[in-house]
Chain A
Amino acid sequence: MARRRRRNEACKNESPKMIGSELSIPISAATMAHIEICGNREAIVEGCRGVLEYDDTLIKLDTGKLIITFTGSELCLGTFQLQQTVIRGNIVSIDFSN
Protein backbone atom coordinates (compact mmCIF):
# COMPACT_ATOMS: atom_id res chain seq x y z
CA MET A 1 0.00 0.00 0.00
CA ALA A 2 2.75 2.38 1.02
CA ARG A 3 4.63 1.63 -2.18
CA ARG A 4 1.49 2.24 -4.28
CA ARG A 5 0.86 5.54 -2.45
CA ARG A 6 4.44 6.61 -3.09
CA ARG A 7 4.04 5.73 -6.76
CA ASN A 8 0.80 7.79 -6.97
CA GLU A 9 2.49 10.80 -5.39
CA ALA A 10 5.37 10.48 -7.82
CA CYS A 11 2.88 10.36 -10.70
CA LYS A 12 1.12 13.45 -9.35
CA ASN A 13 4.39 15.36 -9.30
CA GLU A 14 5.45 14.15 -12.70
CA SER A 15 2.18 14.67 -14.57
CA PRO A 16 2.27 18.53 -14.81
CA LYS A 17 5.87 18.36 -15.96
CA MET A 18 4.97 15.81 -18.62
CA ILE A 19 1.98 17.79 -19.84
CA GLY A 20 4.02 20.99 -19.80
CA SER A 21 6.84 19.46 -21.81
CA GLU A 22 4.38 17.94 -24.30
CA LEU A 23 2.56 21.24 -24.84
CA SER A 24 5.77 23.36 -24.71
CA ILE A 25 4.42 25.31 -21.73
CA PRO A 26 6.71 26.34 -18.85
CA ILE A 27 6.42 23.83 -15.99
CA SER A 28 5.80 26.58 -13.48
CA ALA A 29 2.71 27.82 -15.37
CA ALA A 30 0.52 25.12 -13.87
CA THR A 31 1.83 25.23 -10.33
CA MET A 32 3.13 28.72 -9.61
CA ALA A 33 1.77 32.25 -9.64
CA HIS A 34 1.85 34.19 -12.86
CA ILE A 35 3.24 37.71 -12.63
CA GLU A 36 3.05 40.34 -15.32
CA ILE A 37 4.90 43.63 -14.86
CA CYS A 38 4.34 46.83 -16.85
CA GLY A 39 7.43 49.00 -16.26
CA ASN A 40 7.62 49.93 -12.62
CA ARG A 41 4.04 51.17 -12.47
CA GLU A 42 1.86 48.09 -12.52
CA ALA A 43 2.14 44.42 -11.66
CA ILE A 44 -0.56 41.81 -12.22
CA VAL A 45 -0.35 38.74 -10.01
CA GLU A 46 -2.47 35.73 -10.89
CA GLY A 47 -2.91 32.96 -8.34
CA CYS A 48 -2.69 35.06 -5.19
CA ARG A 49 -3.99 33.36 -2.06
CA GLY A 50 -4.08 36.32 0.26
CA VAL A 51 -2.53 39.52 1.52
CA LEU A 52 -0.01 39.14 4.32
CA GLU A 53 0.94 42.74 4.73
CA TYR A 54 -0.50 45.89 3.21
CA ASP A 55 0.79 49.42 3.33
CA ASP A 56 1.34 52.22 0.82
CA THR A 57 5.07 51.34 0.77
CA LEU A 58 4.92 47.54 1.05
CA ILE A 59 2.58 44.81 -0.17
CA LYS A 60 3.26 41.19 0.71
CA LEU A 61 1.25 38.57 -1.19
CA ASP A 62 0.93 34.88 -0.50
CA THR A 63 0.95 32.77 -3.65
CA GLY A 64 1.26 29.38 -2.01
CA LYS A 65 4.83 28.29 -2.75
CA LEU A 66 6.19 31.84 -2.73
CA ILE A 67 5.72 35.02 -0.80
CA ILE A 68 6.09 38.02 -3.10
CA THR A 69 6.97 41.37 -1.56
CA PHE A 70 6.50 44.58 -3.51
CA THR A 71 8.19 47.64 -2.09
CA GLY A 72 7.91 51.19 -3.36
CA SER A 73 5.77 54.26 -2.81
CA GLU A 74 2.09 55.12 -3.28
CA LEU A 75 1.30 51.46 -3.71
CA CYS A 76 -2.33 50.52 -4.05
CA LEU A 77 -4.37 47.52 -5.04
CA GLY A 78 -6.07 48.32 -8.32
CA THR A 79 -8.12 45.15 -8.15
CA PHE A 80 -8.14 42.65 -5.38
CA GLN A 81 -9.56 39.24 -6.16
CA LEU A 82 -8.13 35.80 -5.68
CA GLN A 83 -7.81 35.18 -9.40
CA GLN A 84 -6.12 38.45 -10.15
CA THR A 85 -4.49 41.13 -8.04
CA VAL A 86 -3.31 44.34 -9.64
CA ILE A 87 -0.71 46.41 -7.83
CA ARG A 88 -0.21 50.00 -8.92
CA GLY A 89 2.22 52.68 -7.83
CA ASN A 90 5.97 53.27 -7.96
CA ILE A 91 7.39 49.78 -7.60
CA VAL A 92 11.01 49.88 -6.47
CA SER A 93 11.70 46.19 -5.83
CA ILE A 94 10.09 42.77 -5.94
CA ASP A 95 11.28 40.14 -3.53
CA PHE A 96 10.55 36.39 -3.60
CA SER A 97 10.82 34.23 -0.53
CA ASN A 98 9.63 30.75 0.46
Chain B
Amino acid sequence: MLLFKILHFLRGYVRLKAQGGFPERFLNLCSNKKIPLWNVESRGGILLANTTPNGYRQIRTPAKKSGMKVRILKKYGLPFFAFSNRKRIGLLFGIVCFFLIIGILSGMVWTVSVEGCETVSEEEITDALASLGVRPGVIRQKIDIEKTEREALGKLPNISWMSVNFQGSAVIVEVRETTGKLPETQDDTPSNLVAAADGQIVTMEVFSGTREQQVSAAVLKGDLLVGGITENKDGTVNFRKAQGYITAITSHNVTTTLNEVSQLRMISDIDSRCTLVFFGLKIPLGPFNSNKESYNEESYVTLNGIKMPVGIVLDRSYKTAQASAVTDANTIRLLALEEHFSECSQKFEYMKIMESQTTLRQSKSGVTVTGDYKCLQNIGESKEIEIDAQSAQQ
Protein backbone atom coordinates (compact mmCIF):
# COMPACT_ATOMS: atom_id res chain seq x y z
CA MET B 1 0.00 0.00 0.00
CA LEU B 2 2.90 2.30 0.74
CA LEU B 3 4.14 1.84 -2.81
CA PHE B 4 0.72 2.89 -4.15
CA LYS B 5 0.74 5.92 -1.88
CA ILE B 6 4.18 6.93 -3.13
CA LEU B 7 3.12 6.43 -6.76
CA HIS B 8 -0.04 8.45 -6.21
CA PHE B 9 1.97 11.19 -4.54
CA LEU B 10 4.47 11.30 -7.41
CA ARG B 11 1.77 11.34 -10.08
CA GLY B 12 -0.57 13.61 -8.14
CA TYR B 13 -4.24 13.06 -7.35
CA VAL B 14 -7.41 15.01 -6.55
CA ARG B 15 -10.04 14.51 -3.88
CA LEU B 16 -13.42 15.06 -5.46
CA LYS B 17 -16.92 15.51 -4.17
CA ALA B 18 -19.93 14.33 -6.20
CA GLN B 19 -23.51 14.97 -5.15
CA GLY B 20 -27.03 14.62 -6.50
CA GLY B 21 -28.07 12.07 -9.15
CA PHE B 22 -27.24 8.39 -8.97
CA PRO B 23 -23.92 7.50 -7.29
CA GLU B 24 -24.06 3.82 -8.31
CA ARG B 25 -24.49 4.71 -11.99
CA PHE B 26 -21.69 7.23 -11.68
CA LEU B 27 -19.35 4.58 -10.24
CA ASN B 28 -20.23 2.06 -12.93
CA LEU B 29 -19.75 4.56 -15.73
CA CYS B 30 -16.38 5.61 -14.29
CA SER B 31 -15.42 1.97 -14.10
CA ASN B 32 -16.45 1.38 -17.73
CA LYS B 33 -14.43 4.40 -18.82
CA LYS B 34 -11.47 3.06 -16.83
CA ILE B 35 -11.32 6.12 -14.64
CA PRO B 36 -9.45 5.06 -11.49
CA LEU B 37 -11.28 5.78 -8.25
CA TRP B 38 -10.08 4.94 -4.76
CA ASN B 39 -11.00 5.72 -1.17
CA VAL B 40 -14.63 6.10 -2.24
CA GLU B 41 -16.81 7.15 0.69
CA SER B 42 -20.49 7.91 0.87
CA ARG B 43 -21.56 10.46 3.47
CA GLY B 44 -25.22 11.32 3.48
CA GLY B 45 -25.64 10.97 -0.26
CA ILE B 46 -22.41 12.82 -1.02
CA LEU B 47 -19.76 10.76 -2.72
CA LEU B 48 -16.14 11.46 -1.89
CA ALA B 49 -13.39 9.81 -3.93
CA ASN B 50 -9.82 10.18 -5.13
CA THR B 51 -8.84 10.12 -8.77
CA THR B 52 -5.89 11.00 -10.97
CA PRO B 53 -5.71 14.40 -12.74
CA ASN B 54 -6.16 12.61 -16.04
CA GLY B 55 -9.15 10.71 -14.67
CA TYR B 56 -10.73 13.92 -13.45
CA ARG B 57 -10.56 15.36 -16.97
CA GLN B 58 -12.59 12.39 -18.25
CA ILE B 59 -15.06 12.37 -15.37
CA ARG B 60 -17.34 15.03 -16.87
CA THR B 61 -19.24 12.59 -19.17
CA PRO B 62 -20.08 9.99 -16.46
CA ALA B 63 -21.09 12.80 -14.11
CA LYS B 64 -23.38 14.31 -16.72
CA LYS B 65 -24.94 10.93 -17.56
CA SER B 66 -25.56 10.09 -13.88
CA GLY B 67 -26.77 13.57 -13.05
CA MET B 68 -24.07 14.32 -10.50
CA LYS B 69 -22.25 17.53 -9.80
CA VAL B 70 -18.54 17.00 -9.34
CA ARG B 71 -16.22 19.41 -7.52
CA ILE B 72 -12.57 19.22 -6.53
CA LEU B 73 -12.04 19.37 -2.78
CA LYS B 74 -8.26 19.38 -2.74
CA LYS B 75 -5.29 18.62 -4.96
CA TYR B 76 -2.49 16.44 -3.63
CA GLY B 77 0.88 15.27 -4.88
CA LEU B 78 4.16 16.40 -6.29
CA PRO B 79 2.96 17.91 -9.62
CA PHE B 80 0.55 20.27 -7.80
CA PHE B 81 3.17 21.14 -5.19
CA ALA B 82 5.76 21.87 -7.89
CA PHE B 83 3.26 23.97 -9.84
CA SER B 84 2.27 26.07 -6.84
CA ASN B 85 5.94 26.63 -5.91
CA ARG B 86 7.26 27.07 -9.45
CA LYS B 87 8.50 30.59 -8.71
CA ARG B 88 10.47 29.59 -5.62
CA ILE B 89 13.91 28.89 -7.08
CA GLY B 90 15.46 28.57 -3.62
CA LEU B 91 13.20 25.70 -2.73
CA LEU B 92 14.08 23.87 -5.91
CA PHE B 93 17.76 24.53 -5.28
CA GLY B 94 17.39 23.19 -1.73
CA ILE B 95 15.70 20.00 -2.91
CA VAL B 96 18.38 19.45 -5.56
CA CYS B 97 21.11 20.06 -2.96
CA PHE B 98 19.42 17.67 -0.54
CA PHE B 99 19.44 14.80 -3.02
CA LEU B 100 22.95 15.67 -4.17
CA ILE B 101 24.32 15.65 -0.62
CA ILE B 102 22.51 12.42 0.19
CA GLY B 103 23.93 10.86 -2.98
CA ILE B 104 27.49 11.98 -2.27
CA LEU B 105 27.51 11.19 1.45
CA SER B 106 26.01 7.73 0.97
CA GLY B 107 29.01 6.86 -1.17
CA MET B 108 31.45 7.81 1.57
CA VAL B 109 32.81 5.99 4.60
CA TRP B 110 31.14 7.35 7.72
CA THR B 111 32.61 5.26 10.50
CA VAL B 112 35.39 2.72 10.97
CA SER B 113 34.89 0.29 13.83
CA VAL B 114 37.06 -2.62 14.91
CA GLU B 115 35.81 -5.90 16.35
CA GLY B 116 37.74 -8.74 17.94
CA CYS B 117 40.78 -6.93 19.35
CA GLU B 118 41.79 -7.71 22.92
CA THR B 119 45.41 -6.80 23.53
CA VAL B 120 45.99 -4.62 20.47
CA SER B 121 44.32 -1.25 20.89
CA GLU B 122 41.53 -0.20 18.56
CA GLU B 123 43.31 3.09 17.86
CA GLU B 124 46.41 1.28 16.68
CA ILE B 125 44.35 -0.62 14.11
CA THR B 126 42.34 2.41 12.99
CA ASP B 127 45.55 4.45 12.65
CA ALA B 128 47.09 1.73 10.48
CA LEU B 129 43.93 1.61 8.36
CA ALA B 130 43.83 5.40 8.10
CA SER B 131 47.38 5.44 6.74
CA LEU B 132 46.17 2.98 4.08
CA GLY B 133 43.24 5.20 3.15
CA VAL B 134 40.41 3.63 5.16
CA ARG B 135 39.08 6.48 7.25
CA PRO B 136 35.88 8.52 7.53
CA GLY B 137 35.33 10.75 4.53
CA VAL B 138 36.94 8.47 1.93
CA ILE B 139 34.92 7.40 -1.11
CA ARG B 140 33.88 3.80 -0.56
CA GLN B 141 34.56 2.60 -4.10
CA LYS B 142 38.19 3.73 -3.94
CA ILE B 143 39.00 1.25 -1.19
CA ASP B 144 40.73 -1.88 -2.41
CA ILE B 145 39.71 -4.34 0.30
CA GLU B 146 42.21 -7.10 -0.49
CA LYS B 147 45.14 -4.71 -0.75
CA THR B 148 44.14 -2.95 2.47
CA GLU B 149 43.86 -6.21 4.38
CA ARG B 150 47.22 -7.42 3.11
CA GLU B 151 49.08 -4.20 3.83
CA ALA B 152 47.42 -3.70 7.22
CA LEU B 153 48.48 -7.20 8.30
CA GLY B 154 52.04 -6.28 7.34
CA LYS B 155 51.84 -3.18 9.50
CA LEU B 156 50.28 -4.92 12.50
CA PRO B 157 52.44 -7.88 13.54
CA ASN B 158 50.13 -8.84 16.42
CA ILE B 159 47.17 -9.35 14.09
CA SER B 160 46.97 -12.71 12.37
CA TRP B 161 43.74 -12.24 10.37
CA MET B 162 41.76 -9.24 9.20
CA SER B 163 38.55 -8.78 7.25
CA VAL B 164 37.31 -5.39 6.06
CA ASN B 165 33.53 -5.37 5.60
CA PHE B 166 31.12 -2.70 4.48
CA GLN B 167 27.77 -2.31 6.17
CA GLY B 168 26.11 0.57 4.41
CA SER B 169 28.43 3.51 4.94
CA ALA B 170 30.15 1.92 7.93
CA VAL B 171 33.37 -0.04 7.69
CA ILE B 172 33.53 -2.91 10.16
CA VAL B 173 36.95 -4.44 10.56
CA GLU B 174 37.10 -7.88 12.11
CA VAL B 175 40.46 -8.95 13.46
CA ARG B 176 42.00 -11.95 15.17
CA GLU B 177 45.10 -11.53 17.24
CA THR B 178 48.13 -13.79 17.15
CA THR B 179 48.22 -16.43 19.87
CA GLY B 180 51.15 -18.33 21.34
CA LYS B 181 54.12 -16.00 21.30
CA LEU B 182 57.60 -17.40 20.76
CA PRO B 183 59.30 -18.25 24.06
CA GLU B 184 61.71 -15.60 25.21
CA THR B 185 65.35 -16.57 25.23
CA GLN B 186 66.31 -17.47 28.77
CA ASP B 187 69.51 -16.23 30.27
CA ASP B 188 71.08 -19.26 31.90
CA THR B 189 74.33 -17.60 32.91
CA PRO B 190 75.32 -18.91 36.38
CA SER B 191 74.55 -16.27 38.97
CA ASN B 192 73.87 -15.69 42.65
CA LEU B 193 71.00 -13.78 44.19
CA VAL B 194 72.30 -11.06 46.48
CA ALA B 195 70.60 -8.43 48.62
CA ALA B 196 69.96 -5.16 46.82
CA ALA B 197 69.50 -3.25 50.10
CA ASP B 198 69.93 -3.58 53.85
CA GLY B 199 66.93 -5.11 55.56
CA GLN B 200 65.21 -7.91 57.43
CA ILE B 201 63.90 -10.84 55.39
CA VAL B 202 60.14 -11.36 55.57
CA THR B 203 59.46 -14.00 52.92
CA MET B 204 61.83 -16.25 51.03
CA GLU B 205 60.90 -18.47 48.10
CA VAL B 206 63.74 -20.22 46.30
CA PHE B 207 63.06 -21.49 42.79
CA SER B 208 66.55 -22.66 41.94
CA GLY B 209 69.88 -22.59 43.77
CA THR B 210 70.97 -23.03 47.38
CA ARG B 211 69.25 -21.11 50.16
CA GLU B 212 71.79 -19.12 52.12
CA GLN B 213 69.58 -17.04 54.43
CA GLN B 214 66.59 -17.67 56.64
CA VAL B 215 63.37 -15.73 57.19
CA SER B 216 63.74 -12.90 59.81
CA ALA B 217 67.49 -12.75 59.19
CA ALA B 218 69.03 -9.30 58.86
CA VAL B 219 71.03 -8.83 55.68
CA LEU B 220 73.28 -6.09 54.39
CA LYS B 221 73.48 -4.88 50.85
CA GLY B 222 75.46 -7.38 48.79
CA ASP B 223 74.90 -10.33 51.13
CA LEU B 224 74.33 -13.68 49.43
CA LEU B 225 70.70 -14.76 49.56
CA VAL B 226 70.53 -17.69 47.14
CA GLY B 227 73.68 -19.32 45.83
CA GLY B 228 74.10 -20.42 42.24
CA ILE B 229 76.59 -23.16 43.13
CA THR B 230 75.16 -26.50 44.24
CA GLU B 231 77.29 -29.32 45.50
CA ASN B 232 76.54 -32.87 44.42
CA LYS B 233 76.96 -36.00 46.60
CA ASP B 234 80.08 -37.07 44.72
CA GLY B 235 81.77 -33.75 45.58
CA THR B 236 81.38 -32.12 42.20
CA VAL B 237 79.62 -28.78 41.83
CA ASN B 238 77.03 -27.44 39.41
CA PHE B 239 76.73 -23.82 38.39
CA ARG B 240 73.27 -22.51 37.73
CA LYS B 241 71.25 -19.34 37.74
CA ALA B 242 69.86 -18.74 41.24
CA GLN B 243 66.25 -17.73 41.19
CA GLY B 244 63.91 -16.75 43.99
CA TYR B 245 61.56 -14.20 45.45
CA ILE B 246 62.88 -12.62 48.63
CA THR B 247 61.10 -9.74 50.33
CA ALA B 248 62.50 -7.73 53.20
CA ILE B 249 61.68 -4.70 55.30
CA THR B 250 64.05 -1.94 54.24
CA SER B 251 64.55 1.56 55.64
CA HIS B 252 64.56 4.65 53.46
CA ASN B 253 65.06 8.28 54.19
CA VAL B 254 63.78 10.92 51.81
CA THR B 255 64.55 14.59 52.33
CA THR B 256 63.02 17.35 50.25
CA THR B 257 63.93 20.99 50.56
CA LEU B 258 61.97 23.82 49.05
CA ASN B 259 64.32 26.75 48.91
CA GLU B 260 62.78 29.27 46.56
CA VAL B 261 59.10 29.48 46.12
CA SER B 262 59.58 32.09 43.40
CA GLN B 263 60.67 29.32 41.00
CA LEU B 264 57.10 28.14 40.82
CA ARG B 265 55.17 28.73 37.64
CA MET B 266 51.47 29.04 37.18
CA ILE B 267 49.04 28.84 34.25
CA SER B 268 48.59 32.38 33.03
CA ASP B 269 46.51 31.93 29.91
CA ILE B 270 44.68 29.21 27.99
CA ASP B 271 44.68 29.33 24.23
CA SER B 272 41.84 27.34 22.77
CA ARG B 273 40.87 26.81 19.17
CA CYS B 274 37.94 24.84 17.77
CA THR B 275 38.19 22.75 14.62
CA LEU B 276 35.14 21.41 12.87
CA VAL B 277 35.65 17.87 11.60
CA PHE B 278 33.36 16.89 8.77
CA PHE B 279 34.06 13.54 7.09
CA GLY B 280 37.79 13.81 7.76
CA LEU B 281 37.89 17.42 6.57
CA LYS B 282 39.21 19.74 9.29
CA ILE B 283 37.86 23.27 9.16
CA PRO B 284 39.57 25.61 11.66
CA LEU B 285 37.20 27.92 13.49
CA GLY B 286 39.82 30.21 14.94
CA PRO B 287 43.41 31.46 14.64
CA PHE B 288 46.18 28.93 14.15
CA ASN B 289 47.70 27.62 17.35
CA SER B 290 51.46 27.23 17.03
CA ASN B 291 52.02 25.74 20.47
CA LYS B 292 52.97 22.11 20.15
CA GLU B 293 52.10 21.25 23.74
CA SER B 294 48.38 21.36 23.29
CA TYR B 295 45.66 19.08 24.57
CA ASN B 296 42.92 17.84 22.30
CA GLU B 297 39.36 17.39 23.41
CA GLU B 298 37.28 15.64 20.79
CA SER B 299 33.51 15.56 20.84
CA TYR B 300 31.70 13.79 18.01
CA VAL B 301 28.03 13.48 17.21
CA THR B 302 26.73 10.05 18.19
CA LEU B 303 23.63 8.39 16.87
CA ASN B 304 22.40 5.22 18.59
CA GLY B 305 25.84 4.83 20.13
CA ILE B 306 27.60 5.09 16.77
CA LYS B 307 30.17 7.82 16.37
CA MET B 308 29.36 10.00 13.38
CA PRO B 309 32.14 11.60 11.31
CA VAL B 310 30.99 15.05 12.36
CA GLY B 311 32.35 16.72 15.46
CA ILE B 312 34.39 19.43 17.06
CA VAL B 313 38.00 19.17 18.23
CA LEU B 314 39.05 21.65 20.88
CA ASP B 315 42.82 22.35 21.02
CA ARG B 316 43.92 23.80 24.31
CA SER B 317 47.40 25.08 25.05
CA TYR B 318 48.44 26.42 28.43
CA LYS B 319 50.75 29.38 28.80
CA THR B 320 52.73 29.48 32.02
CA ALA B 321 54.20 32.47 33.80
CA GLN B 322 56.26 32.96 36.92
CA ALA B 323 54.06 32.80 39.97
CA SER B 324 53.90 35.78 42.21
CA ALA B 325 55.87 35.45 45.44
CA VAL B 326 54.11 33.21 47.92
CA THR B 327 54.27 34.60 51.42
CA ASP B 328 51.70 32.46 53.15
CA ALA B 329 53.51 29.92 55.39
CA ASN B 330 50.83 27.28 55.05
CA THR B 331 50.98 27.43 51.27
CA ILE B 332 54.76 27.05 51.34
CA ARG B 333 54.43 24.01 53.62
CA LEU B 334 51.81 22.46 51.38
CA LEU B 335 53.98 22.97 48.32
CA ALA B 336 56.94 21.36 50.09
CA LEU B 337 54.84 18.37 51.12
CA GLU B 338 53.44 18.02 47.60
CA GLU B 339 56.95 17.88 46.17
CA HIS B 340 58.08 15.43 48.87
CA PHE B 341 55.25 12.97 48.26
CA SER B 342 55.68 13.26 44.53
CA GLU B 343 59.32 12.22 44.97
CA CYS B 344 58.30 9.36 47.27
CA SER B 345 55.71 8.02 44.86
CA GLN B 346 58.39 7.78 42.18
CA LYS B 347 60.98 6.21 44.48
CA PHE B 348 58.64 3.66 46.09
CA GLU B 349 56.84 2.69 42.90
CA TYR B 350 57.58 -1.04 43.34
CA MET B 351 57.49 -1.11 47.16
CA LYS B 352 54.83 -1.27 49.81
CA ILE B 353 55.15 1.32 52.58
CA MET B 354 54.68 -0.39 55.95
CA GLU B 355 55.58 2.48 58.28
CA SER B 356 56.22 6.14 57.70
CA GLN B 357 57.16 9.17 59.73
CA THR B 358 57.32 12.61 58.19
CA THR B 359 58.78 15.71 59.81
CA LEU B 360 58.61 19.24 58.50
CA ARG B 361 61.12 21.94 59.42
CA GLN B 362 60.88 25.56 58.43
CA SER B 363 63.94 27.77 58.39
CA LYS B 364 64.94 31.07 56.81
CA SER B 365 66.29 29.39 53.73
CA GLY B 366 63.15 27.35 53.10
CA VAL B 367 61.15 24.32 54.16
CA THR B 368 62.65 20.85 54.64
CA VAL B 369 60.53 17.72 54.70
CA THR B 370 62.14 14.56 56.00
CA GLY B 371 60.46 11.20 55.75
CA ASP B 372 61.55 7.88 57.31
CA TYR B 373 59.95 4.95 55.58
CA LYS B 374 59.95 1.24 56.19
CA CYS B 375 59.03 -0.56 53.02
CA LEU B 376 58.47 -4.11 51.93
CA GLN B 377 60.49 -4.73 48.81
CA ASN B 378 61.90 -7.49 46.66
CA ILE B 379 65.59 -7.35 47.51
CA GLY B 380 66.79 -10.20 45.31
CA GLU B 381 69.35 -9.01 42.78
CA SER B 382 71.07 -11.25 40.31
CA LYS B 383 74.87 -11.19 40.32
CA GLU B 384 76.86 -13.19 37.83
CA ILE B 385 79.33 -15.78 39.15
CA GLU B 386 82.82 -15.28 37.81
CA ILE B 387 84.14 -18.72 36.98
CA ASP B 388 87.77 -19.25 36.34
CA ALA B 389 88.34 -21.60 33.39
CA GLN B 390 90.85 -23.74 35.30
CA SER B 391 88.68 -24.07 38.37
CA ALA B 392 85.75 -24.98 36.18
CA GLN B 393 87.78 -27.83 34.66
CA GLN B 394 88.73 -29.11 38.12
Contacts and interface: CB of A to CB of B under 8 A. Distances in A.
Interface of A: 50-56, 75-82
Contacts of A78: 38-40
Given A80-B31, A81-B36, A56 B43 contact: yes
B28 interface: yes
Interface of B: 23-24, 27-28, 30-32, 34, 36-43, 47, 49
A77 B36 CA distance: 12
Contacts of B39: 76-78
B24 A77 contact: no
Given A76-B41, A80-B37, 11 more contacts: A50-B24, A54-B23, A56-B43, A76-B39, A77-B37, A78-B40, A79-B37, A80-B30, A80-B40, A81-B31, A82-B31
Contacts of B42: 54-56, 75-76
25 contacts: A50-B24, A50-B27, A50-B28, A53-B24, A54-B23, A54-B24, A54-B40, A54-B42, A56-B43, A76-B40, A76-B42, A77-B37, A77-B38, A77-B39, A77-B49, A78-B38, A78-B40, A79-B38, A80-B27, A80-B30, A80-B40, A80-B49, A81-B34, A81-B37, A82-B31
Nearest to A82: B31
What 10 A-B pairs have minimum CB-CB distances, sorted nearest first? Answer: A77-B40, A50-B28, A76-B41, A51-B24, A80-B37, A51-B27, A56-B42, A79-B38, A54-B24, A82-B31
Contacts of B40: 54, 76-78, 80
Nearest to A60: B24
Contacts of A76: 39-42
